[in-house]
Structure 1
């Protein structure tokens, strides 16, 4: 008999391993912002081995957008350096499968898609710096509203490799000016989860024409006394995949991260 889906409040009380087990069992399929009890969250990119070395170089060229946390061996679905029994085939709430750059499906697990030549990359996520911001008394409106963070494609080029290249994607959090200054200071000390913001203020300067219509995630309202603060986002590889069109790429669905056992304070 299937167990009922768990509420977000119930999941907030779960340690990372128990949370991953709930996700793998199909009991939660939503965003992971606010989950994990202060643990590092990771964006996921999975590619065939003949693309993996080039993607690794792309990450080194674009460290702020793609801060690499761990890489699996070809055909091995387990991350060995991020926690206990992390099976990338099951432990993300929702996946996206791209074939030749086109989104083909959004499965809840990828066991049937797994191949012996696939390599998985775990990339730092801005959700990991949200707890330190909250601990400092900085309000995060998307969490208060129970929404996914708003994410936008910009006009900022990433540094390309021979086959991989595209525009930077950013996540946005509205803040009052004093909180934005404090957030810069806190996140600058966390380069493995995107570090300091890449832009503050007028979104049109980075090619964003409407904050009301994010490319990924949920719209978050901005009050008259708040300014938008933009961080490099680990959804950037999805933009790159669509532009570069490898035969197969599997990612997390935006906002649906892998929750690791690593403490945010360790990165």
Structure 2
């Protein structure tokens, strides 16, 4: 018997209850999922400029009001303190904790930034018949830290993180065409081919996510990734910052089809 898919709101309630604490790939198909960064208000201006200067890895979907955990433009009854399956808490740039609820950590000056996620364009790839290896293997997408420098802004700077999907060349060309229609969720790839050319030390050992095999005749294709802000936050060392755990996203009420520019 096929299990019916739940709505975005229903999945958020499951996450809020603690029933989901891992990756969100495949949940609430058709709905936009978002990366998260939360910072104190006196750091938010610099971070906003960093995102605006680096729209490929940091395409902004929404910014909260200071101290307000709600995000009404992304969905009904969203509470950013409870509706992400797992968070990362950084103190002075150092990863300190990985809770499933940040209600006790919430501050009146916190500003939440929600950033586009590649899960949206993966749905378009699958709809066009293109294979996506990590989904087929039920793994989190492999993500790598590179030598591609982001444009600095104020106290934030760092190199881009990329996600990788192996493809045969003809599929890679089609994937470029499809994902270029989704600039608000990272757009077209930033590189394909030799991983060393963008500073990746070992394609079999990603810094985030899980490795997937690259079969003979395939090339690795790399997209800008919303984990990039976590590198910038580590470098900036704010007294506290909270992000999503890679692969564990906020599920919004927005539809992926509404993000396509064509």
Normalised-by-shorter TM-score class: over 0.9
Whether 1:124 and 2:116 are equivalent positions in the alignment is yes
Structure 1 residue aligned with 2:236: 244
Equivalent of residue 141 in structure 1, options 133, 141, 144: 133
In structure 2, do the counterparts of structure 1 residues 105 and 84 end up closer, same or farther at CA, with 3 Å as the change threshold? Answer: same
TM-score by length of 2: 0.97
Distance (Å, rounded) in 2 between the aligned partners of 1:156 and 1:10: 43
Structure 1 counterpart of 2:25: 33
Counting only pairs closer than 5 Å after superposition, residues 89-128 of structure 1 correspond to structure 2 as: 89-128=81-120
Tell me by how many angstroms 1:11 deviates: 8.2
Q: Measure the CA separation in 1 of the matches of 2:165 and 2:195.
A: 12
Alpha-carbon spacing, 1:61–1:11, altered in 2? closer, same or farther (3 Å): farther
Residue 214 (structure 2) aligns with: 222
C-alpha change, 1:163 and 1:263, in structure 2 (3 Å) is: same
CA distance in 2, matches of 1:47, 1:189: 30
* SS of 2:99 mapped into structure 1: coil
**Runs of at least 4 residues off by over 3 Å:** 9-12
Q: Aligned partners of 1:141 and 1:250: how far apart in 2? A: 29
Q: Tell me which of 65, 73, 78 is aligned to 2:57.
A: 65
Instruction: Identify the match of residue 15 of structure 2 among 19, 23, 35.
Output: 23
Give the CA deviation at 1:147. 0.3
Q: Figure out how many residues of one structure are paired with residues of the other and give that number.
A: 259
List gaps (5 residues or longer) in structure 2. none
Deviation at 1:28, TM superposition (A): 0.9
Gaps of 5+ in 1: 1-8
SS at match of 1:104: strand
Separation (CA, whole Å) in 1 of partners of 2:21 and 2:3: 11
Specify whether residues 112 and 12 from structure 1 end up closer, same or farther in structure 2 by C-alpha distance, changes over 3 A only: farther
**What's the offset of the Cα at 1:162?**
2.1
Shift of 1:12: 7.1
- Alpha-carbon distance in structure 2 between the residues aligned to 1:11 and 1:247: 44
TM-score, normalised to structure 1, is 0.95
Contact 1:11 1:35 in 2 (8 A): no
Residue of structure 2 aligned with 1:56, choices 38, 48, 63: 48
Quick one: structure 1 residues 238 and 171, their matched pair in 2 at CA, closer, same or farther if it must change by over 3 Å? same
Cα deviation, 1:106-159, whole Å, max 9, x if unaligned, reads 000100000100000000011111111000001111011110000000001100
In structure 2, what is the equivalent of residue 3 of structure 1? none
Q: Offset of 1:244 from its aligned partner?
A: 1.1
Conserved in 2, the CA contact under 8 Å of 1:70 and 1:122?
yes
Residues 66-111 of structure 1: CA distance to partner in whole angstroms, max 9, x if unpaired?
0000010000001110011111001111000000000000000100
For the aligned residue pairs, the C-alpha RMSD in angstroms reads 1.3
1:161 is displaced (CA, Å) by: 1.2
Query: Per the alignment, do residues 12 and 101 of structure 1 end up closer, same or farther by CA in structure 2, a change over 3 Å counting?
Result: farther
CA deviation after TM superposition for structure 1 residue 32, in Å: 1.2
Partner-residue secondary structure (3-state), 2:135: helix
Deviations 1:191-212 (A, max 9, x none): 0000000001100000002111
Instruction: Determine whether 1:183 maps to 2:183.
Output: no
